Amino acid sequence: MATIGSDISIAKEFLIKGELVGIPTETVYGLAGNALNEKSVLSIFETKNRPAFDPLIIHTDSVEKIGLYVSEFSEKARALATNFWPGPLTLLLPKKQIIPDLVTSGLDTVAVRVPNHPILSELLRQLDFPLAAPSANPFGYISPTNASHVQAQLGEKILYILDGGECEVGLESTIVGFEDEKVIVYRLGGLEISEIERVVGEVEVMPNSSSNPKAPGMLKSHYAPRKPLFLEKRETIETRQNQTSGYLLFDQYINNVDRENQRVLSPSGDLREAAHHLFAYLRELDSLPIDNIYAEFAPATGLGLAINDRLQRASVPGSAH
Ligand code: TXA
Ligand code: MG
């Protein structure tokens, strides 16, 4: 089992030696290694069972340091960075040679982000290399939002998990790339589209799928529990009451089903709170003695779009089934 602790210097020592460490971020926990060390990067792919065609995000603590790793930082990219870093935003920018091809799966852009988490920021400040960090879940399974989620799934394979409490946002970062003058959102996430559009004007949203070479990791089946998950409208779910199913609901319980088997994402209907609870509640339902899970859509606005995106991917039978 990994040790769970909040000692930055222990995490730092492991990372300098090339070992992997579980790290907290404001979005989800990451499985981190030295992004400039090919051996560390390779062991990230192995530890997660992640296919080599699915590139990694690198994390550092300042916009200035990003300049060491990217060869171009356009005006729009800079405007987004200035407005939203540190925060749940990842930018795809042309990479410098210092970034191993393994990190980017051979693409000529690298995904970069400055996360917003006090303990992680301090760790990153003390390192003279960026951290490559995918979400700390086995490939295809639900992303972890606290240290014990990481322990439960990767604890046998790593030595240390840096504990930074529960992830505040609870959804992965929004991924944004650039093509000529266009700004393209490749993954819906913790930063809302409207916020991005406020800074750079209208964006194109293309959060799809394995056929999209720009975001090879956006596979259709992802974030999935082991139990089959059916995503349905509220009215339909209300007709499916039975005691051998779990229910993931937006703001209200349903009648005639044991509440033990139900989770309500936000009783007040707050999308932020719903996003914060989403993955943890999915995990809880997945561990109950039930046969399947019914989930209802969140309102299709703001963070609700990202929540529905995750539920949609979780509902497709895939590698985790
Ligand atoms: O919030 C987050 O972004 C979390 C935390 C740990 O920072 N990380 C995360 O990483 O979600 P991961 O590896 O689970 O998802 C990264 C996504 C994948 O879909 C991958 O395909 C895409 O980013 N990606 C990475 N580099 C890319 C590139 N150069 N071009 C297109 N997509 C890229
Ligand atoms: Mg992931």
Confidence check: pLDDT of 212 > 70: no
CA of 212 to the centre of ligand 2 (A): 16
Of 135, 151, 174, 176, give the one whose Cα is nearest residue 279: 135
Segment 197-201 shows an average pLDDT of: 98
- The pLDDT confidence band at residue 291, using thresholds 50, 70 and 90, is very high
Cα separation, 268 vs 274, whole angstroms: 9
Task: Starting from the CA of residue 175, give the closest ligand.
Answer: 1
Residue 313 marked in a binding site: no
* Predicted model pTM: 0.95
CA of 94 to the centre of ligand 2 (A): 22
- The pLDDT confidence band at residue 207, using thresholds 50, 70 and 90, is confident
Confidence check: pLDDT of 144 > 60: yes
pLDDT of residue 215: 55
Give the atom of ligand 1 at the shortest distance from the alpha carbon of 29: 6
Condensed to tens digits (0 to 9), the pLDDT of residues 216-225 reads: 555 556 777 8
Q: Which residue is closest in CA terms to ligand 1's atom 10?
A: 134
Of 201, 245, 224, give the one whose Cα is nearest residue 309: 224
What is the residue-averaged pLDDT of the chain?
94
pLDDT of residue 319: 39
Segment 16-40 shows an average pLDDT of: 98
Of 150, 146, 197, 148, give the one whose Cα is nearest residue 176: 197
pLDDT of residue 294: 97
Confidence check: pLDDT of 17 > 60: yes
Condensed to tens digits (0 to 9), the pLDDT of residues 73-95 reads: 999 999 999 999 999 999 999 99
Condensed to tens digits (0 to 9), the pLDDT of residues 97-107 reads: 999 999 999 99
pLDDT of residue 209: 46
pLDDT of residue 211: 41
Query: CA neighbours within 13 Å on the CB side: how many for 291?
Result: 5
Confidence check: pLDDT of 213 > 80: no
Six token digits for residue 87: 């925060």
Condensed to tens digits (0 to 9), the pLDDT of residues 231-282 reads: 999 999 999 988 999 999 999 999 999 999 999 999 999 999 999 999 999 9
Q: What percent of the chain has pLDDT over 90?
A: 90
Domains parsed from the chain with CATH numbers: 3-205 (3.90.870.10), 229-314 (3.40.50.11030)
- The pLDDT confidence band at residue 18, using thresholds 50, 70 and 90, is very high
CA of 112 to the centre of ligand 1 (A): 9
Residues with CB under 6 A from ligand 1: 25, 27-28, 30, 54-57, 90, 92, 104, 107, 109-111, 113, 115, 133-135, 172-173, 175, 186-187, 214-218
DSSP percent split of the chain into helix, strand, coil, nearest 5: 30, 20, 50
Confidence check: pLDDT of 200 > 50: yes
Q: Which one has a higher pLDDT value, 37 or 211?
A: 37
Peptide bond into 55 cis (omega under 30): no
Element (H, E) at 304: helix 303-314
